[in-house]
Amino acid sequence: MSKSITGFSKLSKSHKIDWIVSTYFNNNPDTKNIIEQYWNSNFKLQQLHDEFIENTITNYYLPFGVAPNFLINGKMHAIPMAIEESSVVAAASKAAKFWSERGGFKAEVLSTTKIGQVHFMFHGDFKILQNYFKTVKPKLIEATKPITKNMEKRGGGIIDIELRDKTESLEGYYQLHATFETLDAMGANFINSCLEQFAKTFREEALVFSAFSKKEKNIEIIMSILSNYVPDCLVRAEVSCPVKDLTENPSINPEEFANKFLQAVRIAEVEPFRAVTHNKGIMNGIDAVVLATGNDFRAVEAGVHAYASRNGTYSSLTHAKIENGIFYFWIEIPLALGTVGGLTSLHPLVKLALELLHEPSAKELMQIVAVAGLAQNFGALRSLTTSGIQEGHMKMHLMNILNQFEATEEEKVTLIQYFKTHTATHSSVVQAIKNLRKK
């Protein structure tokens, strides 16, 4: 039975590994080899990775791919993608090539406002609290000047602070709801530092506010934290072309394809069970670029899915229409991204990814990421409404199955050629391997 340990974080890296191997793997030498084979031979680079997080024992690799031919606002891009799922990069690349020959993608940032909140409890007269807030608001902003000084020089900073009454949802619950502009930084640390200073000043000034009773002076700060829901940090990306130009698959005419495509999008707009999978495919493209560029894909995921539910039902993030013979397909999505700070200046592959994208500003990166999601969704819907999703996906997944069965290079060449003209399923690939080996 495994036992607990005290002071694990204080152990050296090698001692951490020894404890894990002895406690959980019965001192199996293969376990230690697996852990150590992913270390980087460059000591300084490995040390850098070790210090990103706590209790590091090794590196966990994901493939870093590139999807070329993305024409965005008239500028050609090759988009970096870090992801483990087969067919994602291929689908994005295919969609990019398709639309590069039809005018490319158009993208624009609609707004870049980010949000943070001080959550507090107050049990007293709301009108007096409102008067107090009017008095203290300039002091809150003044108290953060040492924090906001550099951001303001670049054109960012605090946009506004509001007092919000949330007592209908929870007795005594109020917020300081603050909006920020953080420019090319994602801005989490900046926002949280400002919020904590707001909370400190707000509480201290309440103690000397004469209109408060003794009880009312005792404002209880619960927490101060940014929100990853950023409905006012929006980007829109779209493609369009005459319906007659939606030619590529000879098995379906352009008009039929366009109409099936529209119905597929409408189903995702009204049916949550479909919408979740529909949006998951969008996030395949978005997360891959967000991860490759050193941004927080968990924050993006949380904010995006909240946005997809903003009208009370979980719905599609993409939309489509046909007007006057023109096919339109677009996405409008909240993305709080940064191109400075965090891993952007530390992780060598993140720096390479941003260089590959022509050193984008945060707004430009928002556009690129939204386009990746739109392209991914177009590729998925095109397959679903024509040949089906499995044909292309399984052909891309073929190499994973072959590797599971430790196929030789000669076997891979033979089987890849075979499945160019045969349907690839897990069972059919396994049977083909067995048949080949019998020969």
**Active site (catalytic) residues:** 85, 280, 296, 393
**Dist CA 71 CA 377 (whole Å):** 17
Q: What residues have CB less than 8 Å from 141, skipping those under 6 apart?
A: 158, 161
Residue 61 corresponds to which tokens in the numbers above?
A: 């690799």
**Dist CA 344 CA 370 (whole Å):** 19
Containing 237, the helix (H) or strand (E) segment is: strand 234-242
Are 381 and 265 contacting, i.e. CB atoms less than 8 angstroms apart? yes
The closest alpha carbon to 293, from 136, 117, 82, belongs to 82
Beta strands 326-334 and 318-323 are antiparallel
Beta strands 220-226 and 234-242 are unpaired
Are 224 and 100 contacting, i.e. CB atoms less than 8 angstroms apart? no
Q: What residues have CB less than 8 Å from 127, skipping those under 6 apart?
A: none
How far is residue 137 from each of residues 178, 179, 211, 214, 225, measured CA to CA in Å?
Answer: 11, 13, 16, 21, 18
